[in-house]
Amino acid sequence: MGRNKEFDTVLVLHKAMEIFGEKGFEGTSLQDLLKHLGIARQSLYDTYGTKRDLFFLAVKYYVDEKNALVIEHLNKSVSVKKAIHQIFQEGINALQDPERAKTCYIINSAVEQIPHDEEIAQYFHKKNQELETAFYQALVRAKTHHELKDHHQDLLNLARFLNQTRLSLTFIAKLTPDLKYLQDMIEVSLSILD
Band (pLDDT 50/70/90 cuts) for residue 17 is: very high
Confidence of residue 153 (pLDDT cuts 50, 70, 90): confident
Summarize pLDDT for 83-137 with one digit per residue, the tens: 999 999 998 888 888 888 888 888 888 999 999 999 999 999 999 999 999 999 9
Distances (CA, A) of 137 to 3, 35, 44, 112: 47, 44, 40, 30
CA 130 – CA 126 distance, rounded (Å):
6
**pLDDT grade for 138, boundaries at 50, 70 and 90:** very high
The pLDDT value given to residue 142: 93
pLDDT in tens, 40-89: 999 999 999 999 999 999 999 999 999 999 999 999 988 999 999 999 99
Angle between helices 30-37 and 51-76 (to 10 degrees): 60
From 135, 113, 133, select the one nearest 124 (Cα to Cα).
113
Q: What digits encode the pLDDT tens for the residues 158-178?
A: 999 999 999 999 888 888 888
**Where does residue 171 rank: exposed (0-12), middle (13-18), buried (19+ CB within 10 A)?**
middle
Reduce the DSSP state of residue 39 to 3 states and report it. coil
Which of 29-38, 91-100, 144-153 is predicted most confidently?
29-38
Using DSSP's 3-state secondary structure scheme, residue 33 falls into helix
> What DSSP line would sit under 52-70, residue for residue?
HHHHHHHHHHHHHHHHHHH
**pLDDT of residue 2 exceeding 60:** no
| pTM, to two decimals | 0.88
**Confidence class of residue 8 from pLDDT cuts 50, 70 and 90?**
confident
What pLDDT, on the 0 to 100 scale, is given for residue 102?
80
In this prediction, residue 1 carries a pLDDT of 40
Q: Give the Cα separation of 98 and 60 in Å (integer).
A: 21
pLDDT of 6: 63
DSSP states along 121-185: HHHHHHHHHHHHHHHHHHHHHHHHTT-S-TT---HHHHHHHHHHHHHHHHHHHHH---HHHHHHH
CATH of 60-193, picked from 3.30.830.10, 1.10.357.10, 3.30.930.10, 3.30.1330.40, is 1.10.357.10
State whether residue 194 is helix, strand or coil.
Answer: coil
